[in-house]
Amino acid sequence: MRNTIIEELSKPKLKKAVLIEGLPGMGYVGKLAAEHIVEELRAKKFAEMTSPYFPNQVMIDRDGLLRMPRNEFYLARHDGKSLVIWTGDVQPVLPEGHYEIVERVLGLVKKLDIKQLFTLGGYATGKYSNAQPKVVAMGDPALLRKASSHGAKAESKGGPIIGAAGLLLGLGNLSGISGICLLGETHGMLVDNRAAQAVLQVLAGILDIKINMDNLERRARETEQIIERISREMASREEKVKRREEEESWYIG
């Protein structure tokens, strides 16, 4: 394999189409959100992308079969809108790989006459909290205003957006395609369904669509219960160590 290839499995007919990107990243927030849209809106896969810039690994399916890593493109129709969802197993490992896959995707975007881009991901804080995650937004001014009206905060500190979530918007803007990036606050090292839910709520508000969040909510509660149990166990061990050290400090041999 020498080139990045998008294989179209069918020719979708689109109406008022937007592209939603959600690939693996911080807290898997973007991927979780994109896959939830696919699941809840029963989206149909219409294209696959393979690339020599993807990590040097193979994927193992549940039945033990091997396959190459890939990205996938799905189509969901909802309330007269066409949602094209870009998700997948991995992102490229090299900067030139990101440029190549994003250029391929923008070629598909232009072919399908998609006019708006939405990229989803996580904003790593290094901290875990049970509070509702904040959603940070950056991008097209008109879309920023819509995002703000649905609870997102415009990014004011500056800094880069690494990977496809940022590069797609940057190169898309050069081609006259507007877009916005929505990042949910997350620890960064934990799979974060709560942050994915927060990001999706803002996205659904911008697009004026309804997405059932029950499955994300259930998985978020399960994760929180696991973290709480681990925290209690760690606190208990620390207390035992502290008592033992205090007892040993009073021991006279």
Asked if residue 253 is part of any domain, the answer here is no
pLDDT score, position 80: 86
Question: Cα separation of 91 and 98, whole Å?
Answer: 8
Residue 1 and residue 50 in contact, taking contact as beta carbons nearer than 8 Å: yes
The verdict on residue 57 lying in a domain is yes
In this structure, is residue 129 part of a structural domain?
yes
Helix (H) / strand (E) element for 138: namely strand 135-139
Phi, psi (rounded to 5 degrees) for 35: -65, -30
Q: Is residue 230 part of a domain?
A: no
Residues 105 and 179 sit within 8 Å (Cβ to Cβ): no
Helix (H, G, I), strand (E, B) or coil at 228: helix
With cut-offs at 50, 70 and 90, classify the pLDDT of residue 247: low
* 191 contacts 25 by C-beta, under 8 angstroms: no
Residue with more model confidence, 219 or 212: 212
Instruction: State the amino acid at position 17 in one-letter form.
Output: A
Indicate whether 35 belongs to any domain. Answer: yes
Strand 135-139 and strand 116-124: the pairing is unpaired
Burial class of 52 by CB neighbour count within 10 A (0 to 12, 13 to 18, 19+): middle
Q: What is the pLDDT of residue 222?
A: 84
Q: Let me know: does 190 contact 128? Beta carbons within 8 Å.
A: yes
The mean per-residue pLDDT over the stretch 152-173 comes to 90
Average pLDDT for the chain: 90
Q: What percent of the chain shows pLDDT beyond 70?
A: 96
Contact 124, 26 (CB under 8 A): yes
In DSSP terms, which residues pair with 84 in a beta bridge? 19, 75
In a domain, 76, yes or no: yes
Q: Is residue 239 part of a domain?
A: no
Tell me, what's the pLDDT at 235?
Answer: 73
**% residues pLDDT > 90 (the chain):** 70
**Exposure class string for 211-226: b at 16+ Cβ within 10 A, else e:** bebeebeebbeebeee
Domain count, the chain: 1
Within-domain flag for 247: no
Task: Write the CATH number for 185.
Answer: 3.40.50.10900
CA separation (Å) from 12 to 77, 86, 111, 112, 230?
11, 14, 11, 8, 47
Report CA 38 to chain centroid distance, whole Å.
Answer: 13
Say if residues 60 and 66 touch (Cβ distance below 8 Å).
Answer: yes
How far, in Å, are 28, 49, 82, 117, 169 from residue 41 at the CA level? 20, 22, 11, 19, 25
Please name which of 168, 185, 213, 183 lies closest in space to residue 41, comparing C-alpha atoms: 213
pLDDT digits (tens, 9 = 90+) for 8-22: 999 998 988 999 999
Residue span of the structural domain in which 167 resides = 5-212
